[in-house]
Every structure is written in C-alpha cells, then in structure tokens.
Chain A
Amino acid sequence: MEFLRPATWDEALAAKAEHPTALPISGGTDVMVELNFDVHRPSAILDLNRITELTEWSIDGDVVRLGASVPYTRIINELSGPLPGLALAAHTVGSPQIRNRGGVGGNLGAASPAGDSHPALLAAGRDVFVEAASVRGTRMIPIDDFYVGVKRNCLEADELIRAVHIPVADGPQQFSKIGTRNAMVIAVCAFGFALHPRTRTVGTGIGSAAPTPRRAVEAEEYLQGVLARRGLWESGELLGAEVIQEFGELVKAAASPIDDVRGTADYRRHALAVMARRTLTWTWNDYGKQIRSAA
C-alpha cells in the first residue's frame, strides 16, 4: 500500500490519474473504519488533508461553493444561515469528534444511502452540483445524477470531488433522522425537506430507505401543485391536515427500503411518513410566519 500526500490540488489530480485505484482520504471517518477492520485494502491511500482549499467555502451570488473537506462542525457553525437543511443534517452526524473531521465530500465519495448529507443536498433543489475534477478537466454533476447504486456514485476512476455547489436557501429547510439512540446515530432512515419560494418549488430527500439517496418526486409535484393551485405561496395560509397527510403518504411511497439490522422496511416507511408530515409542518409554519410578518 502506498501513502500519497499531494500538497496541491493539481498534484492530487495527477496522483489520482496515476493511481486510479487509490482511495482518497480526508476526514477518514469512513475510510479508516474500513482499514481498521480489514474490509478494504486499497493499492494506495491518497491523503487530501494538505490541500487547504478543500476546507474553504465561499458564497458567489446565491450559491454556496462548499469545499469537499469543510468539516461538519464548521458547516453547523458557519453555514446554518445559507444552508439550514445541511447544517441540521450535519448536526446529526456521529459525534462532535466525527463532525470535527468528516465533511460532505466524504459522504458523496462513499455514497452510502445512510450518509446524512444526501437528503439535505437533494432537498436543496435540482441546482445542486458536485464539482468533480480530473487531469482531463472539471465537470459539474447534478446531484440527481450523482448517486447510481448502493455505495456507488458516478465518479470516474481518475476523478476527485472538489466542492459542492448549493443554492443559498430562500425558504425554510428541515432535516429529520431516525435512530434508536438519542445520539451517535447512523440513520435508520432520514428525510430532508426544503421550501423554495423563489422558484415556487419544494425539495425532498430520502436517506437510508432505498439503494441510493433519492427524492420523493411525486410528493414534491403534489405539494407544488397544491401550493400553486391554492395560492398558498402568496397567502402563507395553513396547509390543512389532508395535504400534510397526503404528502407523508407520497414520501412513504417513494421509498423502497429493506429489512436490516437497523430497522424493518415497514418501520422505515412509517417513520418517513411521520418525518415528512412534521418537517412540512415546521417549514410551512415558519414560511407562514415570514409571509405574515412581511405583510
């Protein structure tokens, strides 16, 4: 096994091109577990810790460019305004120590359906892009195209994740996650939800309840339809129990979970419906307040 320590992004890309089977490591919170337990013996480890730009974020207009290795702790502390859904999700990741090391790039690289970032990224809208690069160039991968299978993403062997581009929130966002414990939770299932008043759209994201993170497309369309038809974006009036109930059912229907050691498929579906109803209620209440206070 080799240990590669590029000092710059270009060196990292060159190293990845030369060693396409090298396993990138940044926070190490996934990679080291596999190494410690003999799950994985990559030909080389590609350490990205020395590339400081990966731990930087910036806001350009109404898009946050989030470096792949910005630790969750900093997302919570520095970005809960522009990225409230992701910040809430970040706050549910492992322990404080894990949050000090892990970042969104690792979640995307591992592409586990249980990764906590995914539902928040999906909910943040269709204009979320993963910035992937190789010596061949850079491409912006829409988040909806990124996850391709269980623990598989669409990256090429020579590509590395450099950043994620996420629109600055223009409405309330929420994130909920189920675990048997009250801390140190690997998601039994999770749900991200966002209101996007500017585009009159809503975003959803389901975690740990399908082979990949996925959005509940029909639930989004249903809700967008109701909001538009009833003029609720403008009025901010209550949604009513029926709409909330139906939204929950559609989210539940969008999942295709399995029974495993962390929970049953039935429970996951049930919990998703509950979380969908609750997060919709919370965000809509917040939105209603905003509308009323603006009026």
Chain B
Amino acid sequence: MNRPWLLWIPLAVVAFIGGLAIYGLVVPKDDQVYSAMVGKKLPEFALPAATAGVQPLSNTDMADGKPRLLNIFASWCLPCKAEAPHLETLKAAGVEIDAIAIRDKPEDVAAFLAEFGNPFRRIGSDSEMAVQLKLGSSGVPETYVIGGDGMILFQHIGDIRAEHVPMLIEKVNSAK
C-alpha cells in the first residue's frame, strides 16, 4: 500500500454527507418565499375599493412622498384577525397603512372591518391575486414598507405580532 491516505477518502465523503444531514436537522427550515421586489419600485396597478365606504388603491397613491405600510390581508385569513390589534397600534403611532384585500368579497371585507376595526387609509380589492403576483407576495398576511417615492423597502411575511411593532415603526420612520 503506497498510498494509505486514500483509505480515508470514503470516510471523509461519508462524514461530509453526515455533516450535511446534521446541518439540515439543526438549522431551522425556512419555507417562506421572499419577494424579489424589495428594493424595486411598486408595480403599476389600480385596484377598486374593497368595499363600500373605503378608498380604492393604486400604486401612485403610495408615491406621495410619505412612507407607509402596505398590508396584504383577507377577511378569510385567521392570522390577519390576530394582527388587527397590532395594526391599530401602528396607526396610533402615526404610521399610515394602505391595504390590499386578497380574493375577497365586499360584504366579507365590510364584516371584517366592522369586527376588527379599520386602521387603513385605502383598501384595494385584488380578487384575482394579480397584484399580489406582481408584488412577489406569496400569501396573507404580509406587510411591506413603502418609501415616499413608491419604493418597496421591506417585506414582513406572516402576521405582525407585538414584538414586530417597534421594528416596523422604526423602518417607516427611517424611510422619511
């Protein structure tokens, strides 16, 4: 045997594969699909009002010089109900929030707002999820920080919990 170290190669390969397996077990799995639109301008869209008595939403409405949040929600989505009080907190802190209702009916949106409050300046209705696709959004709820120039600055996937509120206020304020 003139090259005894060759014997170690199979062990090294197996150890590497074992290491990958352990890495896969230890590192938490992240199934979320992040939007690649962060850092880009809002896509062009013009959505009708989601229900009677609310304002419709287009991309130009959000490029008025004031940074704000864009909340993607639906009346049929339970986590959206869970985050409603935190959206109220954000509004109370002076953060302006626009919203897009996904695959929703006007009467359902009205019932949702009546029960959980309406912290939104405008609510557009995206019944075919076309704008959701353009935003690179993968579900409800999601919340975007939009700069005053209509730039998408940040994406928060999932419901807003109490611990996310200060971070979102900070992101909106630093966009000014």
Q: Is the A/B pair a real complex?
A: no
Binding site for A on B (CB under 8 A): none
Binding site for B on A (CB under 8 A): none
